[in-house]
Structure 1
Amino acid sequence: MELFLQLFVSGILLGGVYALAALGLNLIFGVAKVVNFAHGEFLMLGMYAGFWLMTLTGVNPYFGAPLIALVFFGLGMLFYLGIMRFTIYKPELTQVFATLGLSIALQNLALVLFSADYRTIQTMPDGYSSLGIGPLHVATDRVIAFGFAMVIFAGVILFLRRTYTGRAIEAISQDLMAARLMGIDSQKIFTITFGLGIAITGLAGGVLVPSFYAFPSIGSFFVLIAFVVVVLGGLGSVTGTIVGGLVLGVIESVFGYFSPDLKEATHFVLLILLLAIRPQGLLGVRGAEKETLK
């Protein structure tokens, strides 16, 4: 019984981390219907941002998270204004090639600037790297990352439901043409959404670097997980992202214990099954994945 409880708790903490890593991807898709294949590379850059912030200035990335988010908000706006603004109404393949090309460019840029070395940081003093809760033991960094995830999710939900900009984002995600007729500036909302989505992604990378190694191709690992979480929870659903992340975390924790070699294979198998059986996800709306901006 203790073993299954340990696996469940570990899976929940891991799932919160996965949900945080996937939120930016789902937020951008929900509004602009753009699948960002460079999502993993932005998260990778966030991990390097947390690493270098701690290494060069001694500032713990947990405390420097707002600064990382602010920088990546600007990067997200540049990403939209410099690239995606010209492809937003183009065929899907144009968007795929644009984001995939950016993904390759960012990965190789990181390789040139930071080399292929694996990097990580220790944020907790010796003796505080794990927490004991009765018979359970969990990594302190995972608990903190999970706390960040829950706070960010709560903040995003409140922002979307309680502010004018948030309601405008939801309006465009539901019906672009009707939102335009109501006087909403779609280009402004797209710019803000890309900024917010990339800011969350960069912040996620900053708080994940104590738990995962940062290296130029780490984004390829996280982008697959993000896609599985988004498809599992529901395309365009913020609440679904939380559910999808937690479910995937528990599944991976259990499979990883009984068969470590199949741990990553579960991502592919689960993604294929979801696309075949329930492409709208657990909390998604049927047909959301097929909506268009035209």
Structure 2
Amino acid sequence: MQYSSIFWWTILWVVSWGVIGGVVTRKVFLRKDLDTSNATLGGSVIGAAFGPIGLIPLWVRVPEITRVMITLSSLVVIGIVAAAFANADPDNNCVSNGSFVASQVTNGLIIGIIYGLMALGLTLIFSILGLVSFAHGAFYMVGGMLVYYIVNVWFPGTHPLIGVFGACVLTFMLGAIFERLFLTPMYDGRVERPVEYGILVTFGLSFTLTYLVAAVAGSNPVKVRRFFDFPRIRLPDASDPWLIKTSRGNMELFDTVSISNPRFVAAVLSILVLLGLLFFLHRTWTGKGLRAVSQDQDAAAITGINPNRMNMLAFSLGCMIAALSGAVLVQAFSWLPIVGQIPEMRSFVIVVLGGLGSLPGAFVGGILVGLVEAAGTGCVPNAQKASSYIPAYGMIILTIMLLLRPMGLFGRKFASGAHGKF
């Protein structure tokens, strides 16, 4: 369709002042020897939202750019762009159908929570070992396959949650064995180029696991039954529209928002895992040891913490969390040996977007990617094209973030010998 000149002038205004704000604000902060970590991102969104009205006071007074300022300005930019699209295409579902928008946002939030769980394991491994694991997608796939085999093949009739627990135990053990056998040379001086070595051995593990599972399971897709069925309820009983209505595999809120049972259950389990991981890291001695190693390995070793044991624990936990994210989703999607490739790529995007080494950043980045994908697939008029573009939406957000804030949303500068802080 042909968009009006008003639409293009609006987009040109937003982009132009965004670029001007990002470039000039950083130069102003550098000239005055101020912290520039938020200068490019803050200047860009303030410029895109308010133009010279917002930028001139920012350059003259040079206040601290807070996350509140960035968030509010970002919301204004989203509103301006949405209004431009509404004026250009008033029949688009994202403009004319409030129920559709609510449903897309809700489902984007739910799938974003699951994305966040996928990225947590990768973040944990990088924070402790400084290793970008290319076996992350393979463990995601293995987790789902193990649940299928435990529930449907090895122990028929077993509840899927027992299969999830079994998959977690097995992948934790596999991660520990692999770390002891192949990753120990990275940090004991036996390898001249440890970064390249880590990439190669994890890629080799991914290749091995993928084709080993393909040889055992074949090329036919598999799936596991729903973990739980919703009870059949309708609240309030005699009102229309209702507040909540559930069937065995679906939930409807306010007669507008439809939520899939498998995705809802997976999101709830993901939140529980996140809370459990945070409790472990902040309330247990072992978790505090992991946090200490993530901040400064040398200082942690001086206090009596064994960095090698923490490395093994971190890699094993990261592999287990990756497998867990696949284990909770095998009820929602058909599972193949190659199913981990796109989630692995998405996890890399989320980790960089949230900030390397930041657990909250990984979770927030996952939610952001989920919302962007939901908005993209819902607002593009051609549904078939919109679905094929799903992997690209995260890359677009990543590109913008790298230009405006290379360290990510929650990234920070690390101490010597450290790779993250959570």
Quote how far apart the aligned CAs of 1:125 are.
Answer: 5.5
DSSP-derived class of the 1:132 partner: strand
Which of 135, 147, 152 in structure 2 is aligned with 1:50? Answer: 147
- Map of 2:207 onto structure 1: 104
Is the 1:280–1:288 Cα contact (8 Å) retained in structure 2? no
What is the RMSD of the two structures over their aligned residues, measured on CA atoms? Answer: 2.1
Quote how far apart the aligned CAs of 1:290 are.
Answer: 9.4
Is the 2:357–2:419 Cα contact (8 Å) retained in structure 1? no
- Map of 1:268 onto structure 2: 395
Using the alignment, how far apart are the partners of 2:161 and 2:266 within structure 1? 9
Quote how far apart the aligned CAs of 1:76 are.
Answer: 1.3
- Map of 2:319 onto structure 1: 198
Using the alignment, how far apart are the partners of 2:258 and 2:417 within structure 1? 43
DSSP-derived class of the 2:145 partner: helix
Quote how far apart the aligned CAs of 1:291 are.
Answer: 5.0
Q: Report Cα offsets for 1:16-35 as digits up to 9, x if no partner.
A: 11111111111111111100
Is the 1:224–1:267 Cα contact (8 Å) retained in structure 2? no
Using the alignment, how far apart are the partners of 1:288 and 1:231 within structure 2? 18
Quote how far apart the aligned CAs of 1:289 are.
Answer: 12
Quote how far apart the aligned CAs of 1:4 are.
Answer: 1.4
- Map of 1:239 onto structure 2: 360
Using the alignment, how far apart are the partners of 2:284 and 2:322 within structure 1? 21
DSSP-derived class of the 2:252 partner: strand
Quote how far apart the aligned CAs of 1:167 are.
Answer: 0.7
Using the alignment, how far apart are the partners of 1:65 and 1:229 within structure 2? 24
Residue type at the aligned position of 2:402: L
Residue type at the aligned position of 2:208: A
Residue type at the aligned position of 1:113: V
1:85-124 alignment runs, 5 A limit: 85-88=184-187, 90=191, 91=193, 92-123=195-226
Which of 251, 256, 261 in structure 2 is aligned with 1:131? Answer: 251
Change (3 A) 1:254 1:32: same
1:144-163 alignment runs, 5 A limit: 144-163=265-284
In structure 1, stretches of 5+ residues that fail to align are: none
In structure 2, stretches of 5+ residues that fail to align are: 1-97, 231-246, 381-385
Q: Using the aligned pairs only, state the percent identity.
A: 29
Using the alignment, how far apart are the partners of 1:180 and 1:288 within structure 2? 15
Which of 71, 76, 83 in structure 1 is aligned with 2:175? Answer: 76
Quote how far apart the aligned CAs of 1:278 are.
Answer: 2.3
Is the 2:128–2:418 Cα contact (8 Å) retained in structure 1? no
Q: Report Cα offsets for 1:181-220 as digits up to 9, x if no partner.
A: 1111011111111111111121221111011221111111
- Map of 2:119 onto structure 1: 22
Using the alignment, how far apart are the partners of 1:219 and 1:268 within structure 2? 17
Residue type at the aligned position of 2:111: L
Is the 1:235–1:288 Cα contact (8 Å) retained in structure 2? no
Residue type at the aligned position of 1:35: V
Is residue 9 from structure 1 mapped to residue 130 from structure 2 by the alignment? no
Using the alignment, how far apart are the partners of 2:250 and 2:362 within structure 1? 27
Using the alignment, how far apart are the partners of 1:216 and 1:278 within structure 2? 36
Q: Report Cα offsets for 1:114-133 as digits up to 9, x if no partner.
A: 11222222215695111111
DSSP-derived class of the 2:160 partner: coil
Higher-Rg structure is 2
Residue type at the aligned position of 2:408: G
Using the alignment, how far apart are the partners of 2:419 and 2:287 within structure 1? 20
TM-score where L is the length of structure 1: 0.93
How many corresponding residue pairs? 293
Question: Which stretch shows the higher mean deviation, 72-81 or 280-289?
Answer: 280-289
Q: Report Cα offsets for 1:97-148 as digits up to 9, x if no partner.
A: 1111111111111111111222222215695111111121100111111111
Using the alignment, how far apart are the partners of 1:129 and 1:30 within structure 2? 38
Is the 1:61–1:207 Cα contact (8 Å) retained in structure 2? no
Change (3 A) 1:247 1:290: farther
Q: Which has the higher contact order (CA 8 A, sep 6+)?
A: 1
